[in-house]
Structure 1
Amino acid sequence: MGTPEFACGILQALTQLPFVELVGVVSQPDKKVGRQQKLQMTPVHALAEQLGLPVMQPQKIRTDYAEVLDLHPELIVTCAYGQMVPEAVLNAPQHGCINVHASLLPKYRGGSPIHTAIIQGELESGVTIMQMVKKMDAGDMLAVRKVAIDEADTTEMLHDKLQAAGADLLKECLLDYLEGRITPIAQDETQVSFAWNITKEQEQIDFSKTGRQIYNQIRGLISWPVGYGVIAGQKMKFWGVRYREDKTEQPSGTILGFDGMGMLVAAGGAMIVITELQMEGKKRVSAKDFYNGKGKQLIGCRFEPVSSTK
């Protein structure tokens, strides 16, 4: 049971285990995208079709789960499915349900653990495989794999690291779990924190924060949903960023100029360098190309405070 690209790594891992017979895949309903509202398969749905696996996409798994139970699964593996799985499903398999979650539980339960780890400036993240219970991401832990977060990592980069780590960890521990060689470990409820889904408000970069916080917010939103600032009445999305220790007395959010690396912006007393950007209604461009166009006109302008825009 899974929906986004991250869960595809787990589905692929299951196909590589000789003792696993995949009898079905459950994913969120496909959605219409773009101006033409074309129906687009979820990444897991598309992969399952390639693999020739039957796919179920209930609108509400909470009530519409009979088709799942009819398969009589011995084990259900979930990863970023996106709906709360009802107890009738959790209790049905002989070996229960296990979940692959992209954080070091009990830290960052919820829907945006990868984004949140970057935004919070964490130096490490990881993957936890746990037994599923009715409460979100609260089950006993079966296996953990730590992954370092590098200084320049974006959410996209960390996503790929964790996807690979999760697939490897599942392949290493699944047989031991099925044969009873793993002792589940309860999560420490006093250490619980949550990573709620990213809101529209969080997409606007808050230049009132420290330089590091601004840098982390930008890279934590690359490459989805992509953070932005508002300058000269237009949105500018930030697709690439670097941090620079250079000090500046200019107000945070001021475009200081351009150099060989990109567009220099004052950020909480320090600087960030925007290497790739996208103006509202335009294509993504390098900072160099932007300078040769409209960019030089914006030197000295300042990104608007978060409170002044919707």
Structure 2
Amino acid sequence: MSKRVILMGTPDFAAHIFERFINEAGYEVISVITQPDKPVGRKREIKPTPVKAVAMQHGIPVLQPEKVRDIADEIAALQPDLIITAAYGQLVPQTILDIPAFGCINVHASLLPKYRGGAPIHWSIINGEAETGITIMYMEKRLDAGDMLSVIKTPINDDDTLGSLYERLTELGGDLLLATVPKLFAGELVAEKQDDSAMTLAPNIQSEHQRLDWHAGARACFNRIRGLNPAPGAFTTLHNKRMKLWASQLTGEATAEAAGSIVGTDSNGILVACGDRQMLCITELQYEGKGRMKALDFYNGNRDMLEGAHFE
């Protein structure tokens, strides 16, 4: 008899991983649990979550409780052998964790115990990590703190953005889940406890995390810009207006100008002084009320405003 599995998740990250699991794993997915549908876009239209959309395409029943604890009895009645979560968005209570015979496992986009929380991919780039990966672990009451079952790693390169790393980790998450679940059912895995002393957090991105601190070094600003691209974007302010910075390049060139000063341009973009006396080249930006554009085009159209100016 095929094992009975419940999938729990909400965003694109989970949807892509679950799509592969449904198509390739060969188990009976008896239900999908996701967050309630919410308004999306400027028109605030109610749209299904990405995970719900996948479930609907495959004719899998969907549950969308405001609080997952409220459907513990309904989950128990389904008699799942395993529950798999990925970026679900709620802590799962012990009453549900105790239901499946093979437990509840989570697909998490970091090398645990580092970057527990809701934005591990963002923070791994912002903090300049050399590598990251996917960890699959048992779930417990504490956030992302359960015993680890399997890990896969990938380097973080200077040309990686949040977008590119997100896509790569999504693929790796699907690979690792497909490799892990059969071994779990076969009793071939030995869980490894996390070292809580090495734990770091990856909180959801707030507005204060988006603001660039030009007094930090050029590398720190470079990492923050790419760690928030394509969303929600890093920003600075100029003449009391917000400017989002979408792409930049390290120059390795020194400057004596104060941090935040617009030094000039080169062939790639706008040169800005940073706190380590190095210049960062901004190559793509978006001034308040405008669309995204090449930084050089913006500079050439706004020389009077930019020459000798200082980002706040």
State yes or no: 1:111 paired with 2:84: no
* 1:224-252 C-alpha deviation (Å, 9 max, x unpaired): 11110000111000111221111111111
TM-score by length of 2: 0.93
What is the match of residue 173 of structure 1? 180
Give the whole-Å Cα distance in 2 for the aligned partners of 1:293 and 1:233.
19
What is the match of residue 283 of structure 2? 275
The letter of the residue matching 1:211 is A
Question: Alignment identity in percent?
Answer: 45
Conservation of the 8 A alpha-carbon contact between 1:257 and 1:265: yes
Give the whole-Å Cα distance in 1 for the aligned partners of 2:82 and 2:151.
19
Give the whole-Å Cα distance in 2 for the aligned partners of 1:291 and 1:220.
24
Give the whole-Å Cα distance in 2 for the aligned partners of 1:176 and 1:111.
27
The letter of the residue matching 2:234 is G
For the aligned residue pairs, the C-alpha RMSD in angstroms reads 1.5
Cα distance, 1:136 vs. partner? 1.0
State yes or no: 1:67 paired with 2:74: yes
What is the match of residue 286 of structure 1? 294
Q: 1:4 to 1:296 in 2, by over 3 A?
A: farther
Q: 1:248 to 1:131 in 2, by over 3 A?
A: same
Conservation of the 8 A alpha-carbon contact between 2:274 and 2:280: yes
What is the match of residue 308 of structure 1? none
Q: 2:137 aligns with which of 126, 130, 137?
A: 130
State yes or no: 1:45 paired with 2:60: no
Give the whole-Å Cα distance in 1 for the aligned partners of 2:97 and 2:223.
37
Conservation of the 8 A alpha-carbon contact between 1:62 and 1:84: no
3-state SS of paired residue (2:310): coil
Cα distance, 1:18 vs. partner? 4.3
Greater CA deviation, 117-126 or 16-25?
16-25
Give the whole-Å Cα distance in 1 for the aligned partners of 2:262 and 2:72.
54
**What is the 5 A alignment of 1:122-201?**
122-201=129-208
Q: 1:228 aligns with which of 235, 242, 246?
A: 235
Extract unaligned runs of 5+ from structure 2: 1-7
Cα distance, 1:70 vs. partner? 3.1
Conservation of the 8 A alpha-carbon contact between 1:143 and 1:169: yes
State yes or no: 1:93 paired with 2:104: no
**What is the 5 A alignment of 1:68-83?**
68-83=75-90
**What is the 5 A alignment of 1:12-51?**
12-51=19-58
Extract unaligned runs of 5+ from structure 1: 305-310
3-state SS of paired residue (1:219): helix
3-state SS of paired residue (2:134): strand
Task: Count residues in correspondence.
Answer: 304
Cα distance, 1:296 vs. partner? 5.6
What is the match of residue 56 of structure 1? 63
* 1:172-197 C-alpha deviation (Å, 9 max, x unpaired): 12101111001111111221111111
Richer in strand (by share): 2
Conservation of the 8 A alpha-carbon contact between 2:25 and 2:178: no
What is the match of residue 247 of structure 1? 254
Give the whole-Å Cα distance in 2 for the aligned partners of 1:24 and 1:88.
18
What is the match of residue 5 of structure 2? none
The letter of the residue matching 2:260 is G
Q: 1:18 to 1:215 in 2, by over 3 A?
A: closer
Cα distance, 1:297 vs. partner? 2.8
The letter of the residue matching 2:176 is L
Conservation of the 8 A alpha-carbon contact between 1:120 and 1:216: yes
* 1:68-122 C-alpha deviation (Å, 9 max, x unpaired): 3332211110001110011111111111100000111111111111111111110
Give the whole-Å Cα distance in 1 for the aligned partners of 2:284 and 2:60.
40
